Amino acid sequence: MRPLLRLVLGVVALFAILAAVAVTLPQQVHVARSVVINAPEGAIFPYLNDLHKTAVWLPWAQRDRDLSVGYSGAEKGEGAHVEWYSEEPSIGAGSMDITKSEAPQRVDYNVDYGGLEGTSYLLVTPSGSGSKVTWGFGYEPGNNLFKRWKGLMLDRLVGTDYQAGLAALKHIVERERAPEDSVTPTPAAPPPAAPAEAAPAEQDVPKQ
C-alpha cells in the first residue's frame, strides 16, 4: 500500500472514531461556579441586574483594563444589553442580554462569548450570615459533533473565568460594605477633671 493512501485511510479512520465517540457525548452542557459573599441578597443583586455594574466585575474586565464596553436597551433588568470588545485574542468580542430578572435572587441572560453562544444565570441564596452566589452557563451543541467535543472543554474554560469573576464580585461588594460594617461608634471622652483646689496657705501666728 502506498504511503499516501495509508495516511489518507488513517485520517479517515481517526475521524470515524472521533465521530463515533462524539455521538455518545451529551447534547447539553452545564457549567457552574459559586462563592459565598459576606453581604445580604439586596446588596448583591444590583451587581447582577444592572449591566453597568456587572461589567465592572466580569472576568474579561479584570484581564483587560482597556476593554471597550457599550450599553443599549433598558437601563437595567429585562431588556438590558451590554457588549464588549478586546484586542486580547482570548477575550475578543462578546455580549450579554438580560432575559429575566427576579429581584433579589436571580437574573437570566443570553450570552455570546466570542462565538460561544448559550444561556447564563446568576442565583443568590442565603448562606449563613451572608449569601451564596452561583454563576451558571448552559450550552446546547445539539447534533453538531464538533460542538459536542467543544462542550467537553467548557467546564475548564468557562469555569475558570466564572470563578475569577465571582472572586472580583465578592471583593467589590465586601469592600463597599466594609466601612458600614467595620466602623464602631467611638465612646465619648469623659469630661476633664476639675482642677484640684489649692490648699490654703498657712498664716504665721504672732507669738505672745
The better pLDDT of the pair 71, 18 is held by 71
Beta bridge partner(s), residue 83: 70, 95
Question: What pLDDT digit, counting tens, does each position of 17-31 carry?
Answer: 444 444 444 567 899
Topology of domain 22-178, CATH: Alpha-D-Glucose-1,6-Bisphosphate; Chain A, domain 4 (3.30.530)
* Nearest by Cα to 134 from 113, 110, 105: 105
pTM for the whole structure: 0.74
DSSP string, 95-139: EEEEEEEETTTEEEEEEEETTEEEEEEEEEEEETTEEEEEEEEEE
CA distance 105 to 126: 9
Question: What pLDDT digit, counting tens, does each position of 172-192 carry?
Answer: 999 999 865 554 455 555 555
